[in-house]
Amino acid sequence: MKRFLTLLAASLLSGAASIAVAQTADEPIQIIQPPKSINLGMVELGKKLYFDPRLSKSGFISCNSCHNLSMGGTDNIPTSIGDQWQQGPINAPTVLNSSLNVAQFWDGRAGDLKAQAGGPIANPGEMAFTHTLALGVLESIPAYVREFKQVFGKDKVDIDQVTAAIAEFEKTLVTPNSRFDQWLLGKKDALTADEQKGYALFKDTGCVACHNGEAVGGNSFQKMGVVEAFKKDDPATGRFAVTGKDADRFNYKVPTLRNVEYTYPYFHDGSANTLTEAVRTMGRIQLGKDFTADETRQVVAFLKTLTGDMPQFTMPVLPPSSDATPRPQPFPPKAAPAPAPKK
C-alpha cells in the first residue's frame, strides 16, 4: 500500500511537471535561466572594474554611474550625463539580462557584451578616457596587476582582458524567478486576475510579436512607429546608422521588458516618463490600438510581474591607487593666467 501511494505520488508529480513544461513551451515568453557557465575569478575582477570610476578621465564615472545596479541597471534620466556633465544623445538601456540580447546598443552596433564594454571607456561623451590611459591606471595599482595575472595568467594587462572580465560579470546580471516566471511554471496564484488579463491583452493585441522570448524583447530589431510615426522630427535613425539600408530607418533593438517598472523613462529618447504612457504609445503607434484606461492598467499590472530577483552580491572593495597612479582630471584645465600688464 505504501509503495502504491509512493508510486501514485510520483506519477502525480511527474504529471504536474510535464503540464508545467508543456505550458511554458506554448507561451511566447520563457522563464529566465540562470547563467550556464561562468568563470568566478573573471566575475569578481569584472565586478571591480564595473564599479571603478578610475577607468574614466574624471575619476568620477563608472559603468555603475549610468547603469546603476541599485536602480534596475539604468540611470533613470532621459539621456545620460557624461564627462563634464555633457548631455548624452540617447537613453541608457538596462544592463540587467543584457547577455540575452541579440546584439548590444539600440542600433545593435556591438555584437556582444565584450565588444560593447570597451566603448564607453573611450567615448568622449561618456567616460572620455582612452584604452591606453585606462590600462596605465590599472597597471599602476599592484593589487589589480596581481589579480589580472591570477585570472588571465599573463604578465601584461590588456584591454581584451578588461572587456572580457566586465562581460563575464555582466553575464551574472540576470533576474530569474519573477512572479510571471513562477506563474509560467504552474503556480497559478502567482498572478492576480487583473495581471492575467493584462497578459492576455499583451498576447491578443500583438505585443508579443516583438516582445517575446526569455527577455520579453532584446531578440530582434523592429520599426519604431509601424502604424503611426513616432516623432516627425526624430534625428536618430536607429539601425540605419549601422547597415545603411533604407528599410532599417527607425528600426531599434526591441528593449527587454524584464524589470521594466524600474527602467523608466522609456524609449530610446527617454521621452515616455511612465509605464502607462509607454504602453499607450506602443498600442497606438505599433498596433493602431487605443487601449481603454482599464486595459492600460491591466497591461501595466502584467508588466510589473516581470520584475525578477535582482543580482545579489557584496559591494566590491577596490584596491587603492599607488603613488604612480595618474591623477583624475575632473575639471577642464584652468586657463593660463593672463600675463601681467606692462607698466
Pick the catalytic residue from 126, 147, 170, 214. 126
C-alpha 263/C-alpha 217 separation (Å) is 14
78 touches ligand HEC by CB under 6 A: no
Pairing mode, strands 251-253 and 221-223: antiparallel
Contact 47, 319 (CB under 8 A): no
Helices (H), 27-130: 40-51, 63-66, 113-122
Report the run of H or E that residue 222 belongs to, with start and end: strand 221-223
Is residue 173 part of the contact set for ligand HEC (CB under 6 A)? Answer: no
Site stretch for ligand HEC (CB under 6 A), options 22-30, 31-39, 250-258, 335-343: 250-258
Is residue 199 involved in binding ligand HEC (CB under 6 A)? Answer: no
Closest CA to 104 of 94, 116, 122, 118: 116
For 51, 239, 270, the CA distances from 220, given in Å and listed in that order, are 30, 11, 20
Residue among 263, 298, 305, 307 that touches ligand HEC (CB under 6 A): 263
Is 181 a residue that touches ligand HEC (CB under 6 A)?
no
Which amino acid does the sequence have at 266?
Y
- For residue 44, indicate whether it is catalytic: no
Q: Is 128 in the site for ligand HEC (CB under 6 A)?
A: no
Look up residue 51 and give its three cell numbers. 564599479
CB 91 within 8 A of CB 78: yes
Among 45, 117, 134, 165, binds ligand HEC (CB under 6 A): 117
Residue 285 binds to ligand HEC (criterion: CB under 6 A): no
Q: Is 266 in the site for ligand HEC (CB under 6 A)?
A: yes
Interface with ligand HEC (CB under 6 A), residue from 57, 114, 179, 268: 268
User: Is residue 80 a contact partner of residue 88, using CB atoms and an 8 Å limit?
Assistant: yes
In the numeric block, which cell numbers belong to residue 68? 546603476
Which range binds ligand HEC by CB under 6 A, 23-31, 118-126, 129-137, 333-341? 118-126
Does residue 219 belong to the site contacting ligand HEC (CB under 6 A)? no
End-to-end, the C-alpha distance of the chain in Å comes to 114
User: Considering only residues 48-67, where is the footprint of ligand HEC by CB under 6 A?
Assistant: 61, 63, 65-67
Residues at the interface with ligand HEC (CB under 6 A): 61, 63, 65-67, 80, 82, 88, 90, 92-93, 95, 98, 101, 104-106, 113, 116-117, 120-121, 126-127, 166, 202, 205-207, 209-211, 222, 224, 226, 252-255, 257, 260, 263, 266-268, 278-279, 282-283, 286-287, 299
